[in-house]
Amino acid sequence: MGFNLAPLQNLIDQFERMQGIGHKTAQRMAFYVLGLSDAEANEFAKAITDAHTKIRQCQICCDLADDELCPICKSGNRDKSVICVVEDPRDVAAIERTHEYKGTYHVLHGAISPMDNIGPDQIRIKELVARLSDDTVEEVIMATNPTVEGEATAMYISRLLKPMGITVSRLAYGVPVGADLEYADEVTLSRALEGRSLI
Amino acid sequence: MGFNLAPLQNLIDQFERMQGIGHKTAQRMAFYVLGLSDAEANEFAKAITDAHTKIRQCQICCDLADDELCPICKSGNRDKSVICVVEDPRDVAAIERTHEYKGTYHVLHGAISPMDNIGPDQIRIKELVARLSDDTVEEVIMATNPTVEGEATAMYISRLLKPMGITVSRLAYGVPVGADLEYADEVTLSRALEGRSLI
């Protein structure tokens, strides 16, 4: 690019390694860093190492935590008899934003995907099964993504848990609220018809 | 966003402060950092502090440098009698990519813009004038941006330098190579007509 300065080029390369960040953006970000004060730059660098060293996985639900347990597993106000199973910590945040769900979560950190060499042992399924041994859990809600991998994972887990006498449910499929029926794909629309309810 | 984890939220905030980075992108970038190994995260943090402490301004041309002088001012192969004046270090990189220019540069770090309270004293004009005192410089090429601010800066500097007996020139205006005439704006097109040359 014409910057013959190793420290600058190194920083640009670091930013460029991130998914979705192209060369021009990485360059703009590096120049942003150069424009910071010394204290700000140190704070930025510290935020990176801090997040990396302080954030770990909750010992119960495998969600991100800054302690042994995540804030949700620590809380006394959550219904421990219901577990909502998601693929990613960001899905927990998405469901929390609804303010509707009062149970606990289990984060799989992925979905079964034979194409990517991810089998049941590569995601946190045995940690989920371990949580079910003490009989307090009554229902497991599968909230994996509505994709082929997410479906396969939901099916796999439901077959594993049903013999244990646990209710396994799945998020409803249907047309998204606020969307236009005209643009809904056939599969979504036929699922919405199947799942219709009386009004 | 539902992440009740201070180190994670802090990192997201740090990324979000950058221009052009929205909340979702900042979040994705923070998760990228969480996915790094310890060594990689430390390297990333170090790249930030390194770039910040090691990069400074060249004592001659005010371009970015990792030493007293930038690689161009240090080089013995550049024509010291021509100075190309640009607004930003990225403009130096852009001109260097042409491999056509063999003179030196001067980086103003901005352009005169009364609207943003940037006057001639806020940009590196006096450093440019200081370079002209020893009579080796014969021509100054104004390569500020073709914007109102860039034009004003070019005019200001040319009026300042002409009485010193220095040739001051300006980059040519015209239609960009490879573009479609149909989409050229009127001002660009009339400048291209004015500046037409014999073939």
Write the secondary structure of chain B as one string of H (helix), E (strand) and C (coil).
Answer: CCCCCHHHHHHHHHHHCCCCCCHHHHHHHHHHHHCCCHHHHHHHHHHHHHHHHHCEECCCCCCEECCCCCHHHHCCCCEEEEEEEECCHHHHHHHHCCCCCCEEEEECCCCCEHHHCECHHHCCHHHHHHHHHHCCCCEEEECCCCCHHHHHHHHHHHHHHHHHCCEEEECCCCCCCCCCHHHCCHHHHHHHHHCCCCC
- Return the pLDDT at B84: 94
From chain B, pick out residues whose CB is under 8 angstroms from the CB of A21.
29
Q: Is the Cβ pair B47, A94 closer than 8 Å? A: no
**CA R_g for chain A:** 22
pLDDT, tens digit (0-9, with 9 covering 90-100), for B101-129: 999 999 999 999 999 999 999 999 999 99
Q: Which of residues 14-33 of A touch B (CB under 8 A)?
A: 14, 18-21, 25, 27-33
pLDDT, tens digit (0-9, with 9 covering 90-100), for A40-83: 999 999 999 999 889 999 999 999 998 899 999 999 899 999 99
pLDDT, tens digit (0-9, with 9 covering 90-100), for B40-76: 999 999 999 999 889 999 999 999 998 899 999 999 8
> ipTM score here?
0.76
Of B1, B5, B48, nearest to A33 by CB-CB distance is B48
By the CB < 8 Å criterion, does B75 face chain A?
no
Q: Is the Cβ pair A7, B94 closer than 8 Å? A: no
